[in-house]
Amino acid sequence: MSNDVEKKTKNSLYWNVGLKIPYEVFRFFASIITARILDPQDFGIVSIATMVIFYANSFTNFGFNQVLVQRKEITEHHIKTVFTVDIMMSVMMMLLLLLTSESIAIFFNSHESIDVIRIMSIVFIITTLHDLPYVLLRRDLEFKLITIVDMAREVLMTVITLCMALYGYKYWSIVYGYIISMVIAAAYLIYRTRLPLKFYYSHKAFKELIGTSIWSFLQMQVYFVSNRIDRIIVGRFIDTTALGIYEKAKSLSQMPSESLGDKLNTVFFSSFSRSQENKESVNNLFNKGLMVITAITFPIYFGMYATSSHFVIVLLGEKWSGMIEVFRIMATAGLFASINGFLSALAVGAGYFKAYTIRYAMSAVVLFVGSLLYVDQGIESVAMVYTIYSVLLMFLSFNIVKKKYEISWLLLLTACIPAILASSIMFFTVVILRNSLFYEYTIINFLSLISAGVFSYCIVMLVMPSVVLKSIRTSLIMDIKKLVNRLTK
C-alpha cells in the first residue's frame, strides 16, 4: 500500500507539475503582456468583482469537495446529493449578487464594477459544473487528465484575454476570458467523467458528508477571507489604482506557490489522505515532498527579490513602478506561504480540518486587524502585515503536524536547507552582478541576471551532498532516461 501510493504520487507529480512548467512560463509572460496593455485601474476593477464572486461562491459547496477527496468511500448518492445542493445554492447566490451589485460598487467607490459583478455572477453555476467532476478525478489521482484540461483551459483563457485586450476591451477582456474558458472546461470534464446531471437528494448521504465537511467549509471561509481581506481593505480605503498595483504584485508573487506549489500540494493532499494511518509513509512523503517544494519555489522567490526593479520596469513598464517595493515584500511572504501550503496538505489530508481551521482563523484575525491599522501608511505596510501573517500561519500549521506524526522542527529545517543554501548563493551572485554590471533597465541585462541565477543555483544543487536529495536526483534521472528510451523506440 505504501509503495503503491508513493509510486502514484511520483507519477502524479510528473503530470501535475512537470508538464505544467512550460505552460506556467507561457502563462507568466501572457500575464506580463496583459499588464503592459491594461492599466492598474483595470486590474483593480476586476479584483473587486472576483473578491466578491469567489468568496460568495465558497458558500455554495459547504466544503463537500474536500470531503469527497478525503473520505475513504463514497457512493453515487453522495455525488448526486452534492451536485443538487451545489446547484441550488449557486442559483440563490447568483440572484443575491444581481440584487446587491450596486451596493457593493458603492462600498468600493467603483461604479464600473457594477456590470462586471452582474456578468460574473454566472460563475456560481459554472464552477459547480466544473468542480465536481474535477474533484472525482482528483480522488482517483487522475492528474494526467487534470493537467491536460487545466493547461488547455488556461491557454484558451490567456488567448481570449490577450486578443480582447489588444482590441481595446480593457477589463472586460479578463472577465470574458475567464468565463468562456471555464464553460468549455466544465463541458469537457462532465463528458469525460460521465457525471450524471440529475437532481437527487439523500438526507442520509448529506448527514454523512456534513459532519466532516463543516470544518472543511469553515476552513474554506477562512482561506477566502485571509486571501482577500487585505485586498478588500486596500480597495475600500485607498482606490482602485492602488488595488490594481497591490493585486498585480500579490498575484505575480503568488504564482510560484499557486501554480507550482499548489499543484504539488494537490497531489500530496490526495497521497496523505491515502496514507494517513501509516506514519512511516507520511514521514517519507514529508521529507521528500518538502524538499521538492522548496527546491522549486525558493529559487524563484529569491530571484524575484533580487531582480525586482528590473522585473517591474523592464517587463511591466514605468506605469507599474509603484509596485517594486510591494513586490519585494510579497516575494518574502511567498517563501513561508510555499511551506505552509505543504503543511496544510498534510494536516487536512490527515483529517485535521478542525485544528487547521482554528489556527487559520487566528492568523486571519492578525491579517485583518493589522491591515486595518496600517492601510493609511500605504500598500507597502499592508504587504508587511501579510508577510507576518504568512509566518504565523506556518508556525501554527506545523504545530498540528508535529503532534500527529512526531515531526520535529529540525526535520523541517533539514528538508529546506538544500534550497535555502543554493538560493542564497544564487541571490548574492545576482545582486553582485546587478550592482556592478547589469544595473541598467534593459531586457538583455534582465535576461543576463536570470541566466546567471539559474546557472549558479543548478550547479550548487547538483554538487550538494544530501542523501534524500541524491535519491531524488537519481530517481529523476532514471525516469528521464526511461522517457527518452520510450520516445526513441
d(CA 360, CA 443): 41
40-72 pLDDT, tens digit each: 889 899 988 888 887 777 776 666 776 677 667
Name residues whose C-beta falls within 8 Å of residue 320's C-beta, 6 or more positions apart in sequence: 35, 40, 245, 248, 312
Count of residues making up the chain: 489
SS3 63: coil
d(CA 416, CA 399): 17
SS3 88: helix
Residue with cell 444581481: 98
Question: In this model, does residue 300 exceed pLDDT 80?
Answer: yes
Query: Are the C-beta atoms of 56 and 124 separated by less than 8 Å?
Result: yes
SS3 194: coil
Centroid of chain to Cα 382? 20
pLDDT (mean) for 397-403? 77
177-217 pLDDT, tens digit each: 999 999 999 999 888 888 777 788 787 777 777 766 666 67
Query: Are the C-beta atoms of 175 and 45 separated by less than 8 Å?
Result: no
- Please report, in angstroms and rounded to a whole number, the separation of the first and last CA atoms in the chain: 32
Q: For residue 389, which of 215, 225, 175 has the smallest C-alpha distance?
A: 225
* pLDDT band of 464, cuts 50, 70, 90: confident
Least confident of 63-77, 173-187, 445-459: 63-77
Q: What percent of the chain has pLDDT over 90?
A: 28
Query: What count of Cα atoms within 13 Å lies in the side-chain half-sphere of residue 319?
Result: 13
d(CA 43, CA 240): 8
d(CA 379, CA 382): 5
Query: Are the C-beta atoms of 370 and 385 separated by less than 8 Å?
Result: yes
Query: What count of Cα atoms within 13 Å lies in the side-chain half-sphere of residue 461?
Result: 25
Question: In this model, does residue 117 exceed pLDDT 80?
Answer: yes
Set of cell numbers at residue 230: 487585505
Query: Are the C-beta atoms of 382 and 263 separated by less than 8 Å?
Result: no
256: which DSSP letter?
A: I
pTM: 0.75
118-167 pLDDT, tens digit each: 999 898 888 888 888 887 787 776 777 777 888 888 889 989 998 999 88
Question: In this model, does residue 488 exceed pLDDT 80?
Answer: no
Sign of the torsion formed by the C-alpha atoms of 217, 339, 247 and 122 = negative
Each residue of 438-448: b (16+ CB within 10 Å) or e?
Answer: beeeeeebbeb
SS3 264: helix
